[in-house]
Amino acid sequence: MAHGRISLIMAVVTLAASFPLLGQTETVLYRFQGQAANDGFAPSTALSLDAAGNLYGVTQYGGGGPCTGTFPNNWPGCGMIFQLSPTPNGAWTENVIWRFQSGADGSFPSGLLAVGGNFWGVVNTGGSGSCTGGCGYLFELTPPATPAGSWTKTDVFDFPTPACVITASDAAGNVYGTVWGNRFPAGNGSPGNGSVCELSPPATPGGSWTLTDLYDFKGVARGQREGDGAWPYFGVMFDADGNLWGATAGGGYCGRSGGPCTGTLFRLTPPATTGGNWTESVVYRWHAVGPTSPVTVGKGGVLFGNGVNEDYKFVNGKISAIGDFSLPTGGYSQPTGGILRDEAGNVYGGTDIGGQFNQGTIYKLMPPTYATTYLYSFAGGTDGVFPNGPLTLGLGGALYGTTWAGGDPGCNDLGGGYHGCGIVFRLVQ
């Protein structure tokens, strides 16, 4: 959700703060070169890490394709999929797995989901759907049979209407996600308040995938104050009992008739019998601010996520704020992109602003008090600026992530006075 954060960042980036930082070491693994170099820029989704230590991710823009983004950015390029691999001398090399080319090939990938040794993803245009330029499609990425070979991208399902952005999978190979809805209509914006969807592989070889609408959000009805949610931008995640959890950006509680409505936490319970309906339950409605990230499901069904100016923990029907992101000069740094939780129960994330140089931080919250410890403060130059997207945990507690700006000062594809097209970094605790 980098689009929605940009205006917020611009509005508050003049704040200054100085935080005590621990002695963690940041290593820039790769600096993106931007559209002019047929490379990506502004990475904004989670990275995947394989057993060999390679990193995988997408950039929604750049890559050399003949696209121009939609409001509010109008950034060039159709997006790409990349692999970063360590080398014996400590450097990392980029291999571009796929550059999207618009048309039937599509554009603007939304992220990667690792399932059974392959990757799955969705692009938001392309395919044969009824939207102008296509509604997007679900694709599978298969690794090469030999180390020097090429990856194979296969279009497995063309969406007939706006795409289902996948974020979860089950043991049977089904993938799950959300159709976002049209709070910010642009181009072929999804109709209505959004939905939760399932894509199922064919029952027999050569068959077709099946798209199932699990739940349609209704939002707040006219004249009412409470609703079942709307605009599920953040996707869904499974808990240990097979329930799907997620957050909506709106459609929960309206403080006054016709006014803005805050979001919800929701649970979808699977049907008791095959072919039955999933059941949606609103477990929490915010009455102020609201969720700004995907939900992270912890042990015992405890939920974590980012809210405006805070992180939250949800347990036994109650929300509590965790961490302290207030700035010494007033206002707040902005936790964003989602939460990573390790086996010890520690919570990790990033802020768009704040820190010693006011260019963003990586932080850690330790139970039971969840006091905020800042692990790293971005300087805003070659080390990156504005971290985003959930962090990825590697061996030895190493953290991997991205920033959507900073890096190579010669790359200015972002415009607006920002320099650098983003980086991939590793932070060793």
As to burial, measured by CB atoms within 10 angstroms (0-12 exposed, 13-18 middle, 19+ buried), residue 154 is exposed
Question: For 94-133, what is each residue's pLDDT tens digit?
Answer: 999 999 999 999 999 999 999 888 999 999 999 998 888 8
State the CATH number of the domain containing residue 213: 2.130.10.10
Q: In this predicted structure, what is the pLDDT of residue 19?
A: 45
Q: State the Cα–Cα distance between residues 64 and 101, nearest whole angstrom.
A: 8
Nearest to 354 by CA among 16, 24, 26: 16
The average pLDDT across 341-363 equals: 92
Please, which pLDDT band fits residue 49 given cuts at 50, 70 and 90?
very high
Please, which pLDDT band fits residue 8 given cuts at 50, 70 and 90?
very low
Q: State the Cα–Cα distance between residues 256 and 176, nearest whole angstrom.
A: 34
* pTM for the predicted model, two decimal places: 0.90
As given in the structure block, the two tokens for residue 147 are 């180390």
As given in the structure block, the two tokens for residue 92 are 């990392």
Has residue 25 got a pLDDT over 60? yes
Q: In this predicted structure, what is the pLDDT of residue 270?
A: 96
Has residue 151 got a pLDDT over 90? yes
CA 216 vs CA 65, 102, 181, 219, 350: distances in Å: 34, 29, 10, 9, 32
As given in the structure block, the two tokens for residue 244 are 């799907």
Name the residue with higher pLDDT: 21 or 232. 232
Q: In this predicted structure, what is the pLDDT of residue 223?
A: 83
Residue-number span of the structural domain to which 312 is assigned: 2-428
Q: In this predicted structure, what is the pLDDT of residue 30?
A: 97
Question: For 295-341, what is each residue's pLDDT tens digit?
Answer: 999 888 899 999 988 999 999 889 999 998 988 877 788 898 899 99
Q: In this predicted structure, what is the pLDDT of residue 408?
A: 94
Question: For 224-264, what is each residue's pLDDT tens digit?
Answer: 899 999 999 999 999 999 999 999 999 999 986 555 689 99
Domain count, the chain: 1
Question: For 386-428, what is each residue's pLDDT tens digit?
Answer: 998 789 999 889 999 999 999 999 998 887 778 899 999 999 9
The β-bridge partners of 230 are: 250
Pick from 19-23, 61-65, 165-169: least confident: 19-23
Q: In this predicted structure, what is the pLDDT of residue 300?
A: 83
Other CB atoms within 10 A of residue 37 CB: 17
Has residue 1 got a pLDDT over 50? no
For 2, phi then psi, to 5°, come to -65, -35
